Chains A and B, each alone.
Chain A
């Protein structure tokens, strides 16, 4: 069981749409997709999680790397469309208020 990733590049932003369950077996694939984006001149990275029903701590860890990139570069790393299950994991990790979280990817792109 893996994940599917789709990248949509706009002028100075990129939206990464993830589908599937993110666990120890699949989080590396998400990390491999996100890491190069931190090197490019992206002002905003949006991760659309509407297709993710399950996420474990390895998925969270990957997204925290995005958050760190955001803090270090002053660019934006935003999450969109968290399912109730994924939102719950963020809440238990007490990270829901640390990330910029939006209901939709469209809202996340506007900010």
Chain B
């Protein structure tokens, strides 16, 4: 699939489930193993939640545009918002030694994805790009099928 799947939803938390369902269908159709799919869905969900919380500061009627591409070995997701830009150098996962609520979303994204980058080089908002190499996961499923 070189043609990306694009989804645009309002920045209302009630649409997070819709994004997860669409992505689940897409990953299923590409035989992405369930464990990997679950983790990718978690990353996208956390990224969109961060947009709602930080970029749009809780406003529910702003656009979130998600673009999913599976090409070769790569799963790529881009999340575009038009809200408040933040200093991307300050986006860091919190120290896991501290047991406290909050701040885990960025850790999940950095832990699961192979690449995470934020681009604010635009008039409004941020473009988040996350890439995961699927080759090892897809190969293990194919080997299992052969066996």
- Which residues of A approach B to under 8 Å, CB–CB? 1, 21, 23-25, 54, 56-58, 60-62, 64-65, 67-68, 84-85, 88-89, 92-95, 98
Q: Which of B63-71, B97-105, B127-135 participates in binding chain A?
A: B97-105
Interface pair B16/A25, CB less than 8 Å apart: yes
A89 to B14, CA, bound (A): 21
Q: How many chain B residues have a CB neighbour from A under 8 Å?
A: 28
For the complex of A and B, the 4 pairs showing the least CB-CB separation, nearest first, are A61-B101, A25-B13, A57-B104, A1-B17
Tell me if B9 counts as interface (CB < 8 A to partner A).
no
Q: With A88-B38, A89-B42 in contact, is A24–B101 under 8 Å at CB?
A: no
- Which residues of B approach A to under 8 Å, CB–CB? 12-14, 16-17, 20, 35, 38-39, 41-42, 45-46, 49, 52-53, 96, 99-105, 107-108, 111-112
Name the CB-closest residue of B to A65. Answer: B101
